[in-house]
Structure 1
Amino acid sequence: MDGAVCNRSFMHLCVGENSYLNYKFFSPNPTSSQDVILTMDVSHVLKKIRNNIMKSGLTAKSTRHLTLPDEPQLKMRNHLAEEVKKVKQTLNGAVQLLENTSKIVSIFRDMRQIVTLDDPRLNTLHAVSEWFLEWEKFAHEQKSNTKKPNLKMLMSLECHEDIQACIQGFILLCKFVLKMSSTIHVTLGLINSDVIENVFYQQRFTYNGANTNPNALQYRKLL
Protein backbone atom coordinates (compact mmCIF):
# COMPACT_ATOMS: atom_id res chain seq x y z
CA MET A 1 0.00 0.00 0.00
CA ASP A 2 0.93 3.66 -0.18
CA GLY A 3 -0.01 6.28 2.39
CA ALA A 4 -3.21 7.43 0.67
CA VAL A 5 -6.18 8.13 2.94
CA CYS A 6 -8.19 5.20 1.53
CA ASN A 7 -5.31 2.77 2.13
CA ARG A 8 -4.76 4.09 5.63
CA SER A 9 -8.47 3.72 6.38
CA PHE A 10 -8.37 0.15 5.08
CA MET A 11 -5.39 -0.64 7.32
CA HIS A 12 -7.13 0.85 10.35
CA LEU A 13 -10.24 -1.14 9.49
CA CYS A 14 -8.13 -4.31 9.61
CA VAL A 15 -5.92 -3.61 12.62
CA GLY A 16 -8.10 -1.23 14.64
CA GLU A 17 -8.00 2.46 15.50
CA ASN A 18 -5.62 2.22 18.45
CA SER A 19 -2.15 3.73 18.43
CA TYR A 20 -0.03 2.11 15.77
CA LEU A 21 2.64 1.56 18.43
CA ASN A 22 0.45 -1.39 19.45
CA TYR A 23 -0.33 -2.59 15.94
CA LYS A 24 0.49 -6.00 14.62
CA PHE A 25 0.40 -5.45 10.88
CA PHE A 26 -1.68 -8.45 9.87
CA SER A 27 -5.35 -9.31 9.76
CA PRO A 28 -7.37 -12.55 9.46
CA ASN A 29 -8.22 -13.42 5.88
CA PRO A 30 -12.01 -13.91 5.55
CA THR A 31 -11.55 -16.32 2.62
CA SER A 32 -8.75 -18.56 3.92
CA SER A 33 -6.86 -19.58 7.05
CA GLN A 34 -3.81 -17.52 6.05
CA ASP A 35 -3.46 -14.03 7.50
CA VAL A 36 -3.20 -10.93 5.32
CA ILE A 37 0.05 -9.01 5.83
CA LEU A 38 -0.29 -5.21 5.71
CA THR A 39 2.80 -3.28 4.63
CA MET A 40 3.54 0.12 3.12
CA ASP A 41 5.46 0.52 -0.14
CA VAL A 42 9.01 1.63 0.67
CA SER A 43 9.22 4.16 -2.19
CA HIS A 44 6.20 6.04 -0.85
CA VAL A 45 7.62 5.90 2.67
CA LEU A 46 10.92 7.41 1.53
CA LYS A 47 9.10 10.20 -0.31
CA LYS A 48 7.11 10.96 2.83
CA ILE A 49 10.31 11.11 4.91
CA ARG A 50 11.84 13.47 2.34
CA ASN A 51 8.80 15.75 2.39
CA ASN A 52 8.79 15.93 6.18
CA ILE A 53 12.48 16.85 6.26
CA MET A 54 11.91 19.60 3.69
CA LYS A 55 9.15 21.07 5.88
CA SER A 56 11.46 21.23 8.89
CA GLY A 57 13.23 24.42 9.95
CA LEU A 58 13.93 26.78 12.83
CA THR A 59 11.50 29.54 11.88
CA ALA A 60 8.02 29.97 13.29
CA LYS A 61 6.56 29.28 9.84
CA SER A 62 8.17 25.84 9.64
CA THR A 63 5.59 23.13 10.13
CA ARG A 64 8.24 20.78 11.54
CA HIS A 65 11.09 21.42 13.97
CA LEU A 66 12.65 17.97 13.78
CA THR A 67 14.61 17.28 16.95
CA LEU A 68 16.21 13.98 17.84
CA PRO A 69 17.43 12.63 21.20
CA ASP A 70 21.10 13.04 22.02
CA GLU A 71 23.51 12.01 24.75
CA PRO A 72 23.49 14.09 27.99
CA GLN A 73 25.35 17.35 27.49
CA LEU A 74 28.17 18.65 29.67
CA LYS A 75 26.94 21.26 32.14
CA MET A 76 27.75 24.90 31.33
CA ARG A 77 26.74 27.95 33.33
CA ASN A 78 26.48 30.47 30.53
CA HIS A 79 24.18 31.27 27.64
CA LEU A 80 26.49 29.43 25.23
CA ALA A 81 25.56 26.08 26.74
CA GLU A 82 22.11 25.96 25.15
CA GLU A 83 23.45 27.01 21.74
CA VAL A 84 26.19 24.35 21.86
CA LYS A 85 23.61 21.77 22.87
CA LYS A 86 21.31 22.71 19.98
CA VAL A 87 24.10 22.58 17.40
CA LYS A 88 25.46 19.25 18.64
CA GLN A 89 21.98 17.77 18.91
CA THR A 90 21.13 18.88 15.38
CA LEU A 91 24.33 17.43 13.90
CA ASN A 92 24.16 14.14 15.78
CA GLY A 93 20.46 13.78 15.05
CA ALA A 94 21.00 14.48 11.34
CA VAL A 95 23.73 11.83 11.19
CA GLN A 96 21.52 9.28 12.94
CA LEU A 97 18.59 10.06 10.65
CA LEU A 98 20.77 9.70 7.55
CA GLU A 99 22.24 6.43 8.82
CA ASN A 100 18.84 4.88 9.50
CA THR A 101 17.14 6.07 6.33
CA SER A 102 20.18 4.90 4.32
CA LYS A 103 19.75 1.45 5.81
CA ILE A 104 16.11 1.42 4.67
CA VAL A 105 17.13 2.39 1.13
CA SER A 106 20.03 -0.06 0.81
CA ILE A 107 18.16 -3.03 2.32
CA PHE A 108 14.91 -2.58 0.38
CA ARG A 109 16.85 -2.15 -2.88
CA ASP A 110 18.89 -5.31 -2.26
CA MET A 111 18.22 -8.02 -4.86
CA ARG A 112 19.76 -10.79 -2.76
CA GLN A 113 17.16 -13.21 -1.44
CA ILE A 114 16.32 -13.74 2.21
CA VAL A 115 16.37 -17.50 2.78
CA THR A 116 16.40 -17.64 6.58
CA LEU A 117 15.02 -15.62 9.47
CA ASP A 118 18.58 -15.34 10.78
CA ASP A 119 19.41 -12.98 7.91
CA PRO A 120 21.22 -9.97 9.48
CA ARG A 121 19.24 -7.56 7.29
CA LEU A 122 16.10 -8.41 9.25
CA ASN A 123 17.89 -7.57 12.49
CA THR A 124 19.05 -4.29 10.97
CA LEU A 125 15.51 -3.40 9.94
CA HIS A 126 14.26 -4.21 13.43
CA ALA A 127 16.91 -1.88 14.89
CA VAL A 128 15.85 0.89 12.50
CA SER A 129 12.23 0.42 13.57
CA GLU A 130 13.26 0.67 17.23
CA TRP A 131 15.25 3.86 16.53
CA PHE A 132 12.20 5.61 15.09
CA LEU A 133 10.09 4.42 18.03
CA GLU A 134 12.66 5.85 20.46
CA TRP A 135 12.48 9.17 18.63
CA GLU A 136 8.71 9.21 19.11
CA LYS A 137 9.07 8.34 22.79
CA PHE A 138 11.57 11.18 23.22
CA ALA A 139 9.25 13.70 21.51
CA HIS A 140 6.27 12.69 23.65
CA GLU A 141 8.36 13.27 26.78
CA GLN A 142 9.29 16.83 25.73
CA LYS A 143 6.35 18.97 26.83
CA SER A 144 5.55 22.27 25.09
CA ASN A 145 4.37 25.44 26.82
CA THR A 146 0.87 23.99 26.81
CA LYS A 147 2.16 20.90 28.66
CA LYS A 148 1.28 18.77 25.65
CA PRO A 149 3.74 16.61 23.69
CA ASN A 150 5.71 18.72 21.22
CA LEU A 151 4.87 16.73 18.10
CA LYS A 152 6.57 19.28 15.83
CA MET A 153 9.79 17.58 16.90
CA LEU A 154 8.62 14.54 14.93
CA MET A 155 7.82 13.92 11.34
CA SER A 156 4.07 13.55 10.82
CA LEU A 157 2.49 10.71 12.78
CA GLU A 158 1.28 9.33 9.44
CA CYS A 159 4.89 9.17 8.27
CA HIS A 160 5.99 7.35 11.42
CA GLU A 161 3.07 4.98 11.06
CA ASP A 162 4.06 4.22 7.47
CA ILE A 163 7.66 3.55 8.48
CA GLN A 164 6.53 0.98 11.03
CA ALA A 165 4.05 -0.58 8.60
CA CYS A 166 6.76 -0.83 5.95
CA ILE A 167 9.39 -2.42 8.20
CA GLN A 168 7.30 -4.49 10.58
CA GLY A 169 4.97 -5.61 7.80
CA PHE A 170 7.93 -6.81 5.76
CA ILE A 171 9.44 -8.70 8.69
CA LEU A 172 6.07 -10.39 9.26
CA LEU A 173 5.92 -11.28 5.57
CA CYS A 174 9.33 -12.95 5.78
CA LYS A 175 8.30 -14.92 8.86
CA PHE A 176 5.12 -16.06 7.14
CA VAL A 177 6.74 -17.05 3.84
CA LEU A 178 9.87 -18.72 5.22
CA LYS A 179 7.95 -20.74 7.80
CA MET A 180 5.43 -21.84 5.21
CA SER A 181 7.96 -23.23 2.73
CA SER A 182 11.68 -23.96 2.59
CA THR A 183 11.74 -23.51 -1.19
CA ILE A 184 10.17 -20.04 -1.37
CA HIS A 185 12.45 -17.11 -0.61
CA VAL A 186 11.94 -13.35 -0.37
CA THR A 187 13.73 -10.87 -2.65
CA LEU A 188 13.83 -7.51 -0.89
CA GLY A 189 14.20 -5.42 -4.03
CA LEU A 190 10.98 -6.85 -5.48
CA ILE A 191 8.75 -6.07 -2.49
CA ASN A 192 7.04 -2.95 -3.80
CA SER A 193 3.93 -1.86 -5.65
CA ASP A 194 5.66 -1.12 -8.98
CA VAL A 195 4.26 -4.18 -10.77
CA ILE A 196 0.69 -3.50 -9.65
CA GLU A 197 0.94 0.18 -10.56
CA ASN A 198 2.28 -0.71 -14.01
CA VAL A 199 -0.68 -3.05 -14.61
CA PHE A 200 -3.16 -0.36 -13.57
CA TYR A 201 -1.39 2.19 -15.76
CA GLN A 202 -1.59 -0.05 -18.81
CA GLN A 203 -5.27 -0.81 -18.22
CA ARG A 204 -6.16 2.87 -17.74
CA PHE A 205 -4.22 3.90 -20.84
CA THR A 206 -5.58 1.10 -23.03
CA TYR A 207 -9.25 1.31 -22.13
CA ASN A 208 -9.88 4.75 -20.69
CA GLY A 209 -7.59 7.16 -22.51
CA ALA A 210 -6.67 10.28 -20.57
CA ASN A 211 -8.59 9.32 -17.44
CA THR A 212 -5.70 8.51 -15.11
CA ASN A 213 -7.86 8.26 -12.01
CA PRO A 214 -11.01 6.21 -12.76
CA ASN A 215 -13.38 5.43 -9.93
CA ALA A 216 -14.32 1.87 -8.95
CA LEU A 217 -17.32 1.72 -11.29
CA GLN A 218 -15.33 3.01 -14.28
CA TYR A 219 -12.51 0.59 -13.57
CA ARG A 220 -14.92 -2.35 -13.39
CA LYS A 221 -16.29 -1.41 -16.82
CA LEU A 222 -12.76 -1.53 -18.22
CA LEU A 223 -12.56 -5.21 -17.41
Structure 2
Amino acid sequence: MHVIKKIRNNTESSKQEHKTKAGRYLIINDKPIIWEHWIEAFKFNFQNGFAIHHKLTEEHIYLTPASKMRNQLAIHVLNKDMLYLMKSYQATLPRPEMLASTVELLEHTSQLVEIFCTQNQTVSSMDNPKFAKLMNILNFFNSWEETVKKSVMMVDSKNLITRETREDINSSIMGFISFCQVMLKNGNSINPGYLNSDLVENLFGQQRGIRNGANTNPTLAQYGPANTAIILGQCTVSNKSNSGKTASFFTATTPCPLNPARNKSNVAMKRGIRL
Protein backbone atom coordinates (compact mmCIF):
# COMPACT_ATOMS: atom_id res chain seq x y z
CA MET A 1 0.00 0.00 0.00
CA HIS A 2 1.57 3.24 -1.16
CA VAL A 3 0.01 5.33 1.62
CA ILE A 4 1.96 3.29 4.17
CA LYS A 5 5.15 3.94 2.24
CA LYS A 6 4.43 7.67 2.16
CA ILE A 7 3.85 7.78 5.91
CA ARG A 8 7.15 5.94 6.45
CA ASN A 9 8.98 8.36 4.15
CA ASN A 10 7.61 11.30 6.14
CA THR A 11 8.75 9.83 9.44
CA GLU A 12 12.14 8.92 7.97
CA SER A 13 12.66 12.56 6.95
CA SER A 14 11.79 13.78 10.47
CA LYS A 15 15.11 14.37 12.26
CA GLN A 16 16.30 15.69 15.58
CA GLU A 17 18.72 18.02 13.77
CA HIS A 18 16.01 19.60 11.66
CA LYS A 19 17.25 23.16 12.13
CA THR A 20 20.58 22.66 10.39
CA LYS A 21 19.55 19.96 7.91
CA ALA A 22 16.76 19.56 5.40
CA GLY A 23 13.80 17.54 6.58
CA ARG A 24 10.81 17.59 8.87
CA TYR A 25 10.27 17.62 12.60
CA LEU A 26 6.92 15.93 13.20
CA ILE A 27 5.14 16.87 16.42
CA ILE A 28 1.96 15.57 18.06
CA ASN A 29 0.86 16.95 21.44
CA ASP A 30 4.19 18.77 21.85
CA LYS A 31 6.13 15.50 21.55
CA PRO A 32 8.35 14.77 18.53
CA ILE A 33 8.10 11.88 16.10
CA ILE A 34 11.62 11.45 14.74
CA TRP A 35 13.38 8.65 12.89
CA GLU A 36 15.94 8.43 15.69
CA HIS A 37 13.22 6.67 17.71
CA TRP A 38 13.17 3.87 15.14
CA ILE A 39 16.96 3.71 15.07
CA GLU A 40 17.18 3.38 18.86
CA ALA A 41 14.37 0.81 18.91
CA PHE A 42 16.22 -1.15 16.22
CA LYS A 43 19.37 -1.21 18.37
CA PHE A 44 17.31 -2.22 21.41
CA ASN A 45 15.74 -5.01 19.37
CA PHE A 46 19.02 -6.92 19.14
CA GLN A 47 20.89 -5.92 22.27
CA ASN A 48 20.01 -9.11 24.17
CA GLY A 49 20.40 -11.46 21.23
CA PHE A 50 16.67 -12.24 21.11
CA ALA A 51 14.86 -10.06 18.60
CA ILE A 52 11.41 -8.78 19.52
CA HIS A 53 10.68 -7.75 15.94
CA HIS A 54 12.07 -10.68 13.93
CA LYS A 55 11.74 -9.11 10.48
CA LEU A 56 13.48 -5.84 11.31
CA THR A 57 16.86 -5.40 9.60
CA GLU A 58 19.30 -2.61 8.82
CA GLU A 59 17.67 -2.35 5.41
CA HIS A 60 14.47 -1.19 7.11
CA ILE A 61 16.21 1.55 9.07
CA TYR A 62 19.06 2.83 6.91
CA LEU A 63 17.16 3.50 3.71
CA THR A 64 18.50 4.01 0.21
CA PRO A 65 16.63 5.46 -2.79
CA ALA A 66 16.00 1.89 -3.98
CA SER A 67 14.83 0.51 -0.62
CA LYS A 68 12.44 3.43 -0.17
CA MET A 69 10.42 2.02 -3.06
CA ARG A 70 9.81 -1.36 -1.40
CA ASN A 71 6.41 -1.56 0.25
CA GLN A 72 7.30 -4.41 2.60
CA LEU A 73 10.06 -2.40 4.25
CA ALA A 74 7.55 0.34 5.03
CA ILE A 75 4.97 -2.13 6.32
CA HIS A 76 7.43 -3.74 8.74
CA VAL A 77 8.32 -0.43 10.43
CA LEU A 78 4.70 0.66 10.88
CA ASN A 79 2.93 -2.59 11.81
CA LYS A 80 1.89 -4.10 15.15
CA ASP A 81 5.30 -5.78 15.61
CA MET A 82 6.97 -2.38 15.41
CA LEU A 83 4.39 -0.99 17.84
CA TYR A 84 5.17 -3.75 20.35
CA LEU A 85 8.92 -3.18 19.96
CA MET A 86 8.55 0.58 20.42
CA LYS A 87 6.46 0.09 23.56
CA SER A 88 9.03 -2.36 24.92
CA TYR A 89 11.81 0.13 24.27
CA GLN A 90 9.72 2.95 25.75
CA ALA A 91 9.33 1.03 29.02
CA THR A 92 13.12 1.04 29.52
CA LEU A 93 13.54 4.81 29.20
CA PRO A 94 13.86 7.18 32.17
CA ARG A 95 11.47 9.56 30.33
CA PRO A 96 9.07 7.26 28.46
CA GLU A 97 6.74 10.16 27.66
CA MET A 98 9.21 11.32 24.98
CA LEU A 99 8.06 8.41 22.80
CA ALA A 100 4.36 8.99 23.46
CA SER A 101 3.61 10.56 20.07
CA THR A 102 5.64 7.96 18.17
CA VAL A 103 3.71 5.19 19.92
CA GLU A 104 0.43 6.98 19.19
CA LEU A 105 1.28 7.18 15.50
CA LEU A 106 2.21 3.49 15.41
CA GLU A 107 -1.06 2.56 17.13
CA HIS A 108 -2.92 3.99 14.14
CA THR A 109 -0.56 2.92 11.35
CA SER A 110 -0.50 -0.65 12.70
CA GLN A 111 -4.28 -0.80 12.32
CA LEU A 112 -4.01 0.61 8.80
CA VAL A 113 -1.45 -2.07 7.92
CA GLU A 114 -3.56 -4.82 9.46
CA ILE A 115 -6.63 -3.82 7.44
CA PHE A 116 -5.06 -3.19 4.03
CA CYS A 117 -2.01 -5.47 4.05
CA THR A 118 -3.55 -8.69 5.36
CA GLN A 119 -4.95 -10.87 2.58
CA ASN A 120 -7.02 -13.34 4.58
CA GLN A 121 -9.61 -11.04 6.16
CA THR A 122 -12.74 -10.24 4.18
CA VAL A 123 -15.41 -7.60 4.75
CA SER A 124 -19.01 -8.67 4.11
CA SER A 125 -21.10 -5.93 5.75
CA MET A 126 -20.88 -2.29 6.75
CA ASP A 127 -21.21 -3.38 10.39
CA ASN A 128 -17.66 -4.73 10.30
CA PRO A 129 -15.53 -3.08 13.04
CA LYS A 130 -12.85 -2.30 10.45
CA PHE A 131 -14.87 0.70 9.28
CA ALA A 132 -14.95 2.20 12.78
CA LYS A 133 -11.19 1.69 13.00
CA LEU A 134 -10.68 3.40 9.65
CA MET A 135 -12.74 6.41 10.71
CA ASN A 136 -10.74 6.60 13.94
CA ILE A 137 -7.50 6.57 11.94
CA LEU A 138 -8.82 9.28 9.63
CA ASN A 139 -9.90 11.43 12.58
CA PHE A 140 -6.44 11.05 14.11
CA PHE A 141 -4.64 12.41 11.04
CA ASN A 142 -7.22 15.15 10.45
CA SER A 143 -7.04 16.26 14.10
CA TRP A 144 -3.26 16.34 13.87
CA GLU A 145 -3.51 18.58 10.81
CA GLU A 146 -5.98 20.94 12.48
CA THR A 147 -3.84 21.21 15.62
CA VAL A 148 -0.71 22.12 13.68
CA LYS A 149 -2.48 24.61 11.43
CA LYS A 150 -4.08 26.38 14.39
CA SER A 151 -0.85 26.58 16.37
CA VAL A 152 1.23 29.73 16.14
CA MET A 153 4.31 27.80 17.28
CA MET A 154 4.25 25.08 14.61
CA VAL A 155 4.54 25.16 10.83
CA ASP A 156 2.78 22.55 8.71
CA SER A 157 5.72 22.36 6.29
CA LYS A 158 7.94 21.14 9.14
CA ASN A 159 5.76 19.69 11.89
CA LEU A 160 3.23 17.81 9.77
CA ILE A 161 3.30 15.09 7.14
CA THR A 162 3.11 16.38 3.58
CA ARG A 163 -0.11 17.64 2.04
CA GLU A 164 0.04 14.90 -0.61
CA THR A 165 0.27 12.22 2.08
CA ARG A 166 -2.65 13.70 4.00
CA GLU A 167 -4.74 13.78 0.83
CA ASP A 168 -3.80 10.18 0.01
CA ILE A 169 -4.81 9.01 3.48
CA ASN A 170 -8.19 10.71 3.15
CA SER A 171 -8.84 9.48 -0.38
CA SER A 172 -7.73 5.91 0.41
CA ILE A 173 -9.89 5.53 3.50
CA MET A 174 -12.96 7.39 2.24
CA GLY A 175 -12.62 5.78 -1.18
CA PHE A 176 -12.53 2.30 0.34
CA ILE A 177 -15.54 3.01 2.56
CA SER A 178 -17.53 4.41 -0.40
CA PHE A 179 -16.52 1.42 -2.52
CA CYS A 180 -17.76 -0.97 0.16
CA GLN A 181 -21.04 0.92 0.56
CA VAL A 182 -21.76 0.28 -3.11
CA MET A 183 -20.42 -3.26 -3.48
CA LEU A 184 -21.63 -4.84 -0.22
CA LYS A 185 -25.30 -4.17 -0.91
CA ASN A 186 -25.79 -7.32 -2.99
CA GLY A 187 -24.22 -9.77 -0.57
CA ASN A 188 -20.69 -9.42 -1.92
CA SER A 189 -17.57 -9.67 0.19
CA ILE A 190 -14.39 -7.63 -0.23
CA ASN A 191 -10.83 -8.44 0.76
CA PRO A 192 -9.03 -5.14 1.50
CA GLY A 193 -5.64 -6.84 1.14
CA TYR A 194 -6.17 -7.33 -2.59
CA LEU A 195 -6.97 -3.70 -3.37
CA ASN A 196 -4.18 -1.67 -4.95
CA SER A 197 -3.62 1.19 -7.37
CA ASP A 198 -1.21 -0.60 -9.72
CA LEU A 199 -3.56 -0.36 -12.71
CA VAL A 200 -3.88 3.40 -12.38
CA GLU A 201 -0.18 3.91 -11.67
CA ASN A 202 0.75 1.76 -14.65
CA LEU A 203 -1.44 3.93 -16.90
CA PHE A 204 0.09 7.13 -15.54
CA GLY A 205 3.58 5.70 -15.99
CA GLN A 206 2.81 4.79 -19.59
CA GLN A 207 1.35 8.25 -20.23
CA ARG A 208 4.57 9.88 -19.09
CA GLY A 209 6.95 7.30 -20.53
CA ILE A 210 5.43 7.01 -23.99
CA ARG A 211 4.26 10.50 -24.84
CA ASN A 212 4.39 13.23 -22.28
CA GLY A 213 7.69 12.81 -20.47
CA ALA A 214 7.92 15.01 -17.38
CA ASN A 215 4.75 16.90 -18.30
CA THR A 216 2.47 16.35 -15.30
CA ASN A 217 -0.40 18.38 -16.75
CA PRO A 218 -0.93 17.31 -20.39
CA THR A 219 -3.61 18.97 -22.48
CA LEU A 220 -6.61 17.09 -23.87
CA ALA A 221 -4.96 17.05 -27.30
CA GLN A 222 -1.90 15.36 -25.78
CA TYR A 223 -3.75 12.99 -23.46
CA GLY A 224 -6.20 11.56 -26.01
CA PRO A 225 -3.74 10.23 -28.63
CA ALA A 226 -1.42 8.99 -25.88
CA ASN A 227 -4.26 7.05 -24.29
CA THR A 228 -5.14 5.47 -27.64
CA ALA A 229 -1.52 4.41 -28.11
CA ILE A 230 -1.49 2.87 -24.63
CA ILE A 231 -4.72 0.92 -25.20
CA LEU A 232 -3.43 -0.52 -28.48
CA GLY A 233 0.20 -1.11 -27.64
CA GLN A 234 0.63 -1.60 -23.90
CA CYS A 235 -0.35 -4.10 -21.22
CA THR A 236 -2.93 -3.34 -18.55
CA VAL A 237 -0.67 -4.48 -15.70
CA SER A 238 3.09 -4.15 -15.80
CA ASN A 239 5.33 -7.01 -14.69
CA LYS A 240 7.34 -4.35 -12.88
CA SER A 241 4.41 -3.39 -10.65
CA ASN A 242 4.22 -4.36 -6.99
CA SER A 243 1.61 -7.00 -7.75
CA GLY A 244 3.29 -8.23 -10.92
CA LYS A 245 1.84 -11.38 -12.44
CA THR A 246 -0.29 -12.12 -9.37
CA ALA A 247 -2.21 -8.86 -9.61
CA SER A 248 -5.52 -10.45 -10.55
CA PHE A 249 -7.45 -13.67 -10.73
CA PHE A 250 -9.02 -13.41 -14.17
CA THR A 251 -7.51 -13.47 -17.65
CA ALA A 252 -9.43 -12.40 -20.75
CA THR A 253 -9.09 -14.35 -23.99
CA THR A 254 -7.97 -11.28 -25.91
CA PRO A 255 -4.16 -11.21 -26.16
CA CYS A 256 -2.42 -8.17 -24.80
CA PRO A 257 -1.24 -5.81 -26.20
CA LEU A 258 -4.22 -5.53 -28.54
CA ASN A 259 -1.90 -4.58 -31.38
CA PRO A 260 1.58 -6.04 -30.67
CA ALA A 261 3.00 -4.51 -33.84
CA ARG A 262 2.78 -1.08 -32.22
CA ASN A 263 5.17 -2.20 -29.51
CA LYS A 264 7.78 -4.53 -31.00
CA SER A 265 9.55 -5.00 -27.68
CA ASN A 266 6.50 -6.84 -26.34
CA VAL A 267 5.93 -9.17 -29.30
CA ALA A 268 7.67 -12.03 -27.51
CA MET A 269 5.82 -11.37 -24.27
CA LYS A 270 2.19 -11.90 -25.25
CA ARG A 271 -0.08 -12.53 -22.32
CA GLY A 272 -3.71 -12.05 -21.31
CA ILE A 273 -5.24 -8.80 -20.17
CA ARG A 274 -5.43 -8.66 -16.38
CA LEU A 275 -8.68 -7.31 -15.01
Aligned twin of 1:108:
116
Aligned twin of 2:25:
65
Q: Is the 8 A contact 1:66 1:154 kept in 2?
A: yes
- Displacement of 1:66: 0.1
Residues 214 and 113 of structure 1, relative CA distance in 2, 3 Å threshold: farther
Aligned twin of 1:153:
159
The reply to whether residue 186 of structure 1 matches residue 190 of structure 2 is: yes
1:138 paired residue among 105, 129, 147: 147
* Cα distance in structure 1, aligned partners of 2:143 and 2:104: 12
Partner amino acid for 2:190? V
Aligned twin of 1:163:
169
Aligned twin of 2:129:
120
Q: Is the 8 A contact 1:109 1:189 kept in 2?
A: yes
* SS state at 1:172 partner: helix
Partner amino acid for 2:151? Q
2:183 paired residue among 165, 171, 177: 177
- Displacement of 1:131: 0.8
- Displacement of 1:63: 2.6
Residues 169 and 221 of structure 1, relative CA distance in 2, 3 Å threshold: closer
* SS state at 2:196 partner: coil
For these two proteins, the number of residue pairs brought into alignment is 153
* Cα distance in structure 2, aligned partners of 1:102 and 1:62: 28
TM-score for the superposition, normalised by structure 1: 0.59
* Cα distance in structure 2, aligned partners of 1:157 and 1:89: 28
* SS state at 1:67 partner: strand
* Cα distance in structure 2, aligned partners of 1:44 and 1:213: 23
* Cα distance in structure 1, aligned partners of 2:96 and 2:155: 20
Q: Is the 8 A contact 1:69 1:89 kept in 2?
A: no
**Higher RCO (CA-CA < 8 Å; seq separation 6+):** 1
Aligned twin of 1:9:
none
Partner amino acid for 2:198? D
Residues 89 and 105 of structure 1, relative CA distance in 2, 3 Å threshold: same
Identical positions, percent: 33
Runs of 4+ more than 6 Å apart: none
Partner amino acid for 2:148? A
- Displacement of 1:140: 1.7
Q: Is the 8 A contact 2:122 2:192 kept in 1?
A: yes
- Displacement of 1:218: 4.4
Q: Is the 8 A contact 1:107 1:188 kept in 2?
A: yes
- Displacement of 1:196: 5.6
Alignment of 1:1-223 (within 5 A): 43-59=1-17, 60=19, 61-69=21-29, 90-111=98-119, 112-144=121-153, 150-151=155-156, 152-179=158-185, 181-182=186-187, 184-194=188-198, 212-215=209-212, 216=223, 217-222=225-230, 223=232
* Cα distance in structure 2, aligned partners of 1:221 and 1:175: 35
| 1:13-51 Cα deviation digits (max 9, x unpaired) | xxxxxxxxxxxxxxxxxxxxxxxxxxxxxx221121121
Partner amino acid for 1:65? Y
Unaligned runs of 5+ in 1: 1-42, 72-86, 205-210
Unaligned runs of 5+ in 2: 32-94, 213-222, 233-275
